[in-house]
Amino acid sequence: NAGVTQTPKFQVLKTGQSMTLQCAQDMNHNSMYWYRQDPGMGLRLIYYSASEGTTDKGEVPNGYNVSRLNKREFSLRLESAAPSQTSVYFCASSALQGITEAFFGQGTRLTVV
């Protein structure tokens, strides 16, 4: 059982480049989330998707877009990367209504130079 899988694990971008972070879960969860974690800090919610076909902004959505491609996949896109977006990005999923626990991926470490 893979759980939540994120790709890539590491990425270096130049300022202004674009890229998409991929996330897939195999637990049939309805809700999925994207977080970022800066060094020494807690996680901050970027976007979430309560169910297939819906997305909503979290605490820090500026500079990002998301797509809930299907029930399994939730991608995060950086259209024009900036050094301030250097961070570790985590994807998570949870069952419908989120009362149950969330499962996290191993993270994508992104550096923007």
Partner 1 sequence: DAKTTQPNSMESNEEEPVHLPCNHSTISGTDYIHWYRQLPSQGPEYVIHGLTSNVNNRMASLAIAEDRKSSTLILHRATLRDAAVYYCILREFGTGGFKTIFGAGTRLFVKA
Residue number with CB closer to partner 1 (1 or 14): 1
Smallest gap from Cβ 100 to partner 1, in A, equals: 8
Smallest gap from Cβ 101 to partner 1, in A, equals: 4
Give the torsion through C-alpha atoms of 71, 81, 109, 104, to 10 deg. -30
Residues at the contact surface with partner 1, assessed by CB under 8 A: 4, 30-31, 33, 35, 41-45, 48-51, 54-56, 58-59, 90, 92, 94, 96-99, 101-107
- 48-80: b or e for each residue (b if 16 or more CB lie within 10 Å)? bbbeeeebeebeebeebebebeebbbbbbebee
Question: Taking a C-beta distance cutoff of 8 angstroms, is the pair 106, 55 a contact?
Answer: no
Smallest gap from Cβ 79 to partner 1, in A, equals: 22
Residue number with CB closer to partner 1 (2 or 101): 101
Residue number with CB closer to partner 1 (12 or 41): 41
